[in-house]
A and B are shown apart, each in its own frame.
Chain A
Amino acid sequence: MTDVPAIEVRGITRVFESRKGFLFREHTRTEALRGVDLTVRSGSIYGLLGPNGAGKTTLVKILSTLLLPTSGTARVLGHDVVEDSDWLRPRIGLVLGGERGLYNRVSARDNLRYFADLYGLPGAEREERITAVLERVDLVSAADRRVEEFSRGMKQKLHIARGILHRPQVLFLDEPTIGLDPKSARETRKLVRSLVSDGVTILLTTHYMFEAEELCPEIAVLSKGRIVAHDTVAGLRQLVGGDRTLEAEAYGFEDREVELLHRLPGVSKVVSEEYGPRTRLTLRLRSPETTASDVEAALPGHSELSVRERRTSLEDVYLDLVEEEAR
């Protein structure tokens, strides 16, 4: 580990422009990233959360030298991703995942042989290394089968095997457990942790909040091309109003009742959501003064009222931040 951050992003923007049509050209301009700043410590896992279209994959592609930024600078291992891409490429790994990105008509082993050669793995070591990564992702028994016969989960594992084949120092994982069954997903998370133990820095994008919470000491939430928050999970909980949440459900609440809940001690936020005929009020609590019985006392006259307390989840944090940004 060194003091130089593994990843350092300053004011990155990325605009996609496209033209459609032949006679009547239609010009579209999409701002995928709008001034992103990010610092990832060496040897850590950093989580990047965000809804579809938030710019996560765009950022990952820029950092892995597959896309040029429109403006701003990005450095990986202290080197500029645009100027020093030749230096960086052997040192970074990328797992984009999905159904595409593999040679389906040849075997998993032949896919890995090809990329091992492109990454210059020494000939004597190549087969040994391929077997080692196949073992690590539990694909040894299917190594000589054509990839087109693989399930989506097996393809995902092969993507990961390819990403770590050349022992990268920084690994970009774009939704690595998508499409995996629970057992495989758990094994993948275990693999990710073991890679970090080996000293690899990982930038992980995911839709699964529990995964981010389990793996990532630090998390950034990306929405509409901007980082709307970045902190530890505990820090993010505080950011949205505390780590305790109370939920009250009944057949509708009056505005004055919602106002009353707002005024209870330690309540930082009250969010109202409709669920068919029922309404749920979610209260974020900064301090322990207010309890479930206080809420019940503040809402008399609701025969079907139910109040429960739980810990503020990362999903709560995420939804609060993204919805706030959308407003």
Chain B
Amino acid sequence: MSTVELPRISRTRATSASLRLSFLMFMADPQWLIPSMIAPVVFGLVAFELFRGSGPYFLTYAILGAGMMSMWGQTLYGSGWAIGQDREFGTLEPTVQSPTPYVYVVLGRVLWNVVSGLIGGAIVYLVVLAAAGSPPTVPDPIGFVVLFVFVMLTLASVGILFSAAWVYTRYSGFIQNVGEFAFYIGTGCMFPVVLLPFWTNPIALVFPPTWALDALRYLAIPGYVGFGWGFWPDIAGAILTTAIYVAIAGTVFKRVELHVLSKGDLSDY
């Protein structure tokens, strides 16, 4: 019926608009200083004391452990919370009603949390550096940084799926609060998964960060013994599981949208 020419919806533009809005909201709300600036300082100091004297690479262990703890919370919890805020503000309805598929809005929120998590990681690095008085020995610094960012992206893929739960139900915060630290331990953020009881390992392998973190330790800590298969299979496993998560997210969001449109509780908080 209509002959009006409509602008094309750019998914990249929608994602960057969501990322920009998340940044603006972050800057406008002082409460985010606690998880993004203060918590990394605490995590860094605790990890430094925890791993002190545990071997020649204890500084790397401390940075990885505390950095991951900080980034995990920011990326995963922050992503879900951003959607929870959309419920709280009543902005979930107009956003879902826009022509942009909601998953791209979530992607923007998650990417901002990745950036925010990286800032947290940098703070941890500086804190541990200041506490130790010397930088950690990392055999391949460039590879370390690249893999570090990759770990964040694997975290983001889990964050996107968690976000779907926030769209699905207003009670998802409870599930996320309960699950956050179980996942944190289970994926080997603080210490290698191989140190956990064997039965936990297959569960841990479901999560992309488990693979990516194991690869990161192989790269950063000479002599590290993680999963027996080594660095490259870890990378392959991380890429594969991340791709599966992203693919599932695309389908899940469409189904979740149908579910909430059927339930009619998008404006409930």
Instruction: Report which A residues bind B (CB closer than 8 A).
Output: 2, 4, 14, 16, 58, 61, 64-68, 77-79, 86, 89-91, 94, 96, 98, 100-106, 110, 113-115, 117-123, 146, 162, 166-167, 169
Nearest to A82 among chain B residues (CB) is B261
A175 → chain B closest CB, angstroms: 15
Is B28 close to A, CB under 8 A? yes
Complexed CA–CA distance, A105 and B22 (Å): 11
B264 → chain A closest CB, angstroms: 5
- A66 partner, pick from B10, B13, B266, beta carbons under 8 A: B266
- B96 partner, pick from A66, A115, A122, beta carbons under 8 A: A66
Whether B91 contacts A146 by the Cβ 8 Å rule is no
A61-B264, A114-B17 are known contacts. Are A122 and B7 too (CB-CB below 8 A)?
yes
Complexed CA–CA distance, A147 and B90 (Å): 14
Complexed CA–CA distance, A14 and B264 (Å): 10
Is B29 close to A, CB under 8 A? yes
Is B54 close to A, CB under 8 A? no
Give the interface size class of chain B.
Answer: 35 or more
- A78 partner, pick from B1, B6, B7, B8, beta carbons under 8 A: B1
A69 → chain B closest CB, angstroms: 10
| Total cross-chain contacts (CB, 8 A) | 110
Q: Which of B8-62 contact A (CB under 8 A)?
A: 8-10, 13-14, 16-18, 20-21, 24-25, 28-29
Complexed CA–CA distance, A115 and B18 (Å): 9
Q: A100-B90, A101-B94 are in contact. List 19 more A-B contacts (CB 8 A).
A: A2-B1, A14-B264, A66-B97, A86-B99, A89-B99, A90-B7, A91-B4, A101-B93, A102-B89, A113-B20, A118-B14, A118-B98, A118-B105, A119-B7, A120-B7, A120-B9, A123-B13, A162-B94, A169-B4
A66-B261, A106-B25, A106-B28 are known contacts. Are A94 and B97 too (CB-CB below 8 A)?
yes
- Listed A/B pairs (8) with beta-carbon separation below 8 Å: A14-B264, A67-B264, A96-B93, A101-B90, A101-B93, A117-B17, A120-B8, A167-B4
Q: 9 shortest A-B CB distances, which residue pairs? A: A100-B90, A117-B17, A105-B28, A120-B7, A118-B98, A78-B1, A120-B9, A89-B99, A101-B90
A103-B21, A117-B13, A120-B7 are known contacts. Are A65 and B97 too (CB-CB below 8 A)?
yes
Is B262 close to A, CB under 8 A? yes
Nearest to A99 among chain B residues (CB) is B90
Complexed CA–CA distance, A104 and B28 (Å): 10
Is B201 close to A, CB under 8 A? no
Whether A102 contacts B91 by the Cβ 8 Å rule is yes
List of A residues within 8 angstroms of B93 by Cβ = 66, 96, 101
B167 → chain A closest CB, angstroms: 13
Complexed CA–CA distance, A66 and B6 (Å): 21
Complexed CA–CA distance, A4 and B2 (Å): 10
A2-B1, A67-B261, A103-B89 are known contacts. Are A118 and B95 too (CB-CB below 8 A)?
yes
Nearest to B257 among chain A residues (CB) is A85
Whether A119 contacts B98 by the Cβ 8 Å rule is yes
Nearest to B86 among chain A residues (CB) is A103
Whether A106 contacts B99 by the Cβ 8 Å rule is no
Main SS at interface, chain A: loop
B56 → chain A closest CB, angstroms: 47
Whether A104 contacts B89 by the Cβ 8 Å rule is yes
List of A residues within 8 angstroms of B9 by Cβ = 90, 118-120
Complexed CA–CA distance, A141 and B235 (Å): 54
- B89 partner, pick from A61, A64, A101, beta carbons under 8 A: A101
- A4 partner, pick from B1, B20, B262, B266, beta carbons under 8 A: B1
Whether A90 contacts B90 by the Cβ 8 Å rule is no
List of B residues within 8 angstroms of A113 by Cβ = 17, 20
List of A residues within 8 angstroms of B264 by Cβ = 14, 16, 58, 61, 67-68
A263 → chain B closest CB, angstroms: 50
B255 → chain A closest CB, angstroms: 13
Nearest to A4 among chain B residues (CB) is B1
List of B residues within 8 angstroms of A146 by Cβ = 28
Whether B261 contacts A68 by the Cβ 8 Å rule is yes
Whether B7 contacts A118 by the Cβ 8 Å rule is no
Q: Which of B229-261 contact A (CB under 8 A)?
A: 258, 261
Whether B2 contacts A77 by the Cβ 8 Å rule is yes
Whether A98 contacts B90 by the Cβ 8 Å rule is yes
List of A residues within 8 angstroms of B99 by Cβ = 86, 89-90, 118-120
Is B267 close to A, CB under 8 A? yes
List of A residues within 8 angstroms of B172 by Cβ = none
Is B169 close to A, CB under 8 A? no
